[in-house]
């Protein structure tokens, strides 16, 4: 196998695909160098076009909670494929997946299946606006809810700053009703509701932000969000595309419900794990809110491939496996071993390095304390991260190729894989 096969493929890709990739972070622009073109994957490993094996901590950005090629999932997908790829008509398996999601997430009574997290978040916000008759959306800087126009905004440092588009092709008037606040800032959300409470339809939040690495929403912040939304008649939407069935069986909302009596979001958005690696996502809420969707109500949403029979087979098989007793305890323990080991490696090397994790999701920062918001993430040592990324890649460990992305551990990662990763980390940190 050619030793420059990845470079050859990247050059070829750039001739026919913008930037050579179909999703920007894959291009390695943040860290530099040539992206690895993956030929196959199995268990906790990916193999690139040159035949090199990597311990995989991307897991397709979260879905591969069982690892790659899990036998039960593979069998379910192969069986479904023989029955038909797509019908454009309802199937029993759609009902089964919706029932499964609703049974695991108490805040949800009904579910609408879609094909991507972007589609699910966009539809959930439209539903919230339809339910309240209000225009305004509140989001938080550093949280990513897909690439719908109204969500491609960021805020400045000022109080209650209205967003400006951060992508060309998004007219300012499209985001004029999107208010962007600082994550974990209670004072800003209180001010926003004081100024605009009667106009706010929805507050959307990643309960553990995975697109500024790994940053938790603090309990007092979530509690106050819930109180303000209830008080002002706005809907609280939890974007659990990453965290859903990844940090806990009931999603991140189940963790907050243990700490905040009676807590539940009004709308939940899921993706990644519920598709098991296939294009599948969902949004759900109470029967009253979901009843506003077409064909029952005035809020329109549709999709040719929604509830795809092969994707639902993959998702159902995945959910059945992660429901097994002890699954999340074992996954969380393995992830904690990795996170604690990375922190210890940093201490021993005299390198400021902090880590955090929940369930099968983790993050690390080159800094002295865990960031609580996006600007704090920006202040961490990006250059050291980039050097560390490449040193780990050279040693056969595939981390997210950007400082701003969380990492994922699967049930297929063994204690030996974690040990090998930590050995590589110690060597990488010793190199500077």
Same domain, residue pair 353 and 419:
yes
The answer to whether residues 19 and 168 belong to one domain is no
Same domain, 224 and 76: yes
Q: CA torsion angle for 336, 337, 342, 348 (degrees, to 10)?
A: 130
Tokens found for residue 334: 């393995």
What's the per-residue H, E or C state across the chain?
CCCCHHHHHHHHHHHHCHHHCCCHHHHCCCCCCCCCCEEEEEECEEEECCCCEEEECCHHHCCCCCCECCHHHHHHHHHHHHHCCCCCCCCHHHHHHHHHHHHHCCCCCEEEEECCHHHHHHHHHHHHHHHHCCCEEEEECCCCCCCCHHHCEECCCCCCEECEECCCCCCHHHHCCEEEECCCCHHHHHHHHHHHHHHEEEEEECCEECCCCCEECCHHHHHHHHHHHHHHCCEEEEEECCCECCCECCCHHHHHHHHCCCCCCCEEEECHHHHECECCEEEEECHHHHCCECCCCCECCCCCCCCCHHHHHHHHHHHHHHCCCCHHHHHHHHHHHHHHHHHHHHHHHCCCCEEEEECCEEEEECCCCCCCCHHHHHCCCHHHHHHHHHHHHHCCEECCCCCCCCEECCCCCCHHHHHHHHHHHHHHHHCC
- Model confidence band, residue 176 (pLDDT cutoffs 50, 70, 90): confident
User: What would the two tokens of residue 187 be?
Assistant: 């004072």
Taking 70 as the threshold, does the pLDDT of residue 95 lie above it?
A: yes
Residue 162, pLDDT above cutoff 90? no
- What pLDDT score does 160 carry? 37
Co-location of 232 and 101 in the same domain: yes
Q: Which of 48, 54, 183, 272 does the annotation list as catalytic?
A: 272
Q: In this structure, what CATH number is given to the domain that contains residue 285?
A: 3.40.640.10
Contact 210, 405 (CB under 8 A): yes
Residue 272 annotated as catalytic: yes
From 269, 299, 322, the end of a domain falls on: 322
Q: Are residues 156 and 126 in the same domain?
A: yes
Co-location of 56 and 183 in the same domain: no
Domain that holds residue 112: 71-322
pLDDT attached to residue 158:
35
- Dig out the tokens for 49 from the structure: 């076009």
pLDDT-derived band at 72 (thresholds 50, 70, 90) equals very high
Q: What pLDDT, on the 0 to 100 scale, is given for residue 173?
A: 79
For residue 349, pLDDT beyond 80? yes
Active site annotation includes 223? no
Q: What is the pLDDT of residue 154?
A: 62
pLDDT category of residue 63 using cuts at 50, 70 and 90: very high
> Taking 90 as the threshold, does the pLDDT of residue 165 lie above it?
no
* Domain endpoint, select from 322, 353, 381: 322
Same domain? For 28 and 77 the reply is no
Are 62 and 185 in the same domain? no
Residue 2 above 80 pLDDT? no
As a whole number of angstroms, the distance between CA 373 and CA 363 comes to 14
Residues 401 and 252 in one domain: no
Last residue of a domain, one of 270, 288, 322: 322
Query: Domain of 356: which CATH number?
Result: 3.90.1150.10
pLDDT at 350 over 50: yes
- 239 counts as catalytic: yes
Average pLDDT, integer, range 203-227: 97
pLDDT confidence bin for 3, thresholds 50/70/90: low
State the average pLDDT for the chain. Answer: 94
Q: Are residues 34 and 98 in the same domain?
A: no
Number of compact structural domains in the chain: 2
Catalytic entry in 144, 256, 374, 398: 144
Catalytic entry in 48, 56, 239, 417: 239
Q: Please give the pLDDT value at position 147.
A: 86
Question: What pLDDT score was predicted for residue 164?
Answer: 57
> Measured at the alpha carbon of residue 269, what is the angle toward residues 256 and 244, in degrees to the nearest 5?
55
Q: Do 123 and 59 reside in the same domain of the chain?
A: no
pLDDT for res 159? 34
Q: Does residue 333 share a domain with residue 279?
A: no
């Amino acid at each position: 196998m050619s030793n420059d096969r990845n470079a050859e493929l990247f050059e070829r890709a750039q001739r026919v695909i913008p930037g050579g990739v179909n999703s920007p972070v894959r291009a390695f622009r943040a860290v530099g160098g040539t992206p690895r073109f993956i030929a196959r994957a199995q268990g906790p490993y990916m193999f690139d076009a040159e035949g090199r094996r990597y311990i995989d901590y991307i897991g397709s950005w979260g879905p591969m909670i069982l690892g790659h090629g899990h036998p039960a999932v593979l069998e379910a997908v192969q069986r479904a494929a023989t029955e038909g790829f797509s019908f454009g008509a309802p199937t029993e398996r759609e009902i089964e997946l919706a029932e499964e999601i609703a049974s695991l997430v108490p805040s949800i009574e009904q579910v609408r299946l879609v094909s991507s997290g972007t589609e699910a978040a966009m539809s959930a916000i439209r539903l919230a606006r339809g339910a309240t008759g209000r225009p305004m959306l509140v989001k938080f800087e550093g949280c990513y809810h897909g690439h719908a126009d109204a969500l491609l905004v960021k805020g400045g440092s000022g109080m209650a700053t209205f967003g400006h588009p951060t992508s060309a092709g998004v007219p300012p008037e499209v985001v004029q009703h999107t208010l962007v606040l600082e994550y974990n800032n209670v004072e800003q959300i209180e001010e926003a509701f004081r100024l605009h409470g009667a106009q706010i339809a929805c507050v959307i939040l990643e309960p553990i932000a995975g697109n500024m690495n790994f940053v938790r929403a603090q309990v007092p912040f979530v509690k106050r969000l819930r109180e303000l939304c209830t008080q002002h008649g706005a809907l609280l939407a939890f974007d659990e595309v990453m965290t859903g069935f990844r940090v806990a069986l009931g999603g991140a909302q189940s963790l907050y419900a243990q700490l905040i009596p009676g807590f539940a979001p009004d709308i939940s958005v899921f993706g990644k794990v519920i598709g098991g690696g296939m294009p599948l996502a969902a949004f759900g809420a109470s029967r009253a809110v979901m009843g506003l969707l077409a064909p029952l109500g005035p809020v329109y949403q549709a999709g040719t491939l929604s509830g795809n029979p092969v994707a639902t087979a993959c998702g159902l098989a995945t959910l059945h496996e992660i429901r097994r007793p002890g699954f999340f305890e074992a996954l969380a323990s393995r992830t904690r071993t990795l996170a604690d080991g990375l922190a210890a490696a940093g201490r021993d090397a005299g390198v400021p390095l902090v880590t955090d994790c929940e369930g099968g999701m983790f993050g690390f920062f080159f800094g002295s304390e865990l960031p609580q918001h996006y600007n704090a993430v920006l202040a961490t040592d990006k250059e050291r991260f980039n050097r560390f990324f490449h040193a780990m890649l050279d040693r056969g460990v595939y981390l997210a190729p950007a400082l701003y992305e969380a990492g994922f551990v699967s049930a297929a990662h063994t204690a030996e894989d974690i040990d090998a990763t930590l050995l590589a980390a110690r060597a990488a940190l010793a190199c500077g």
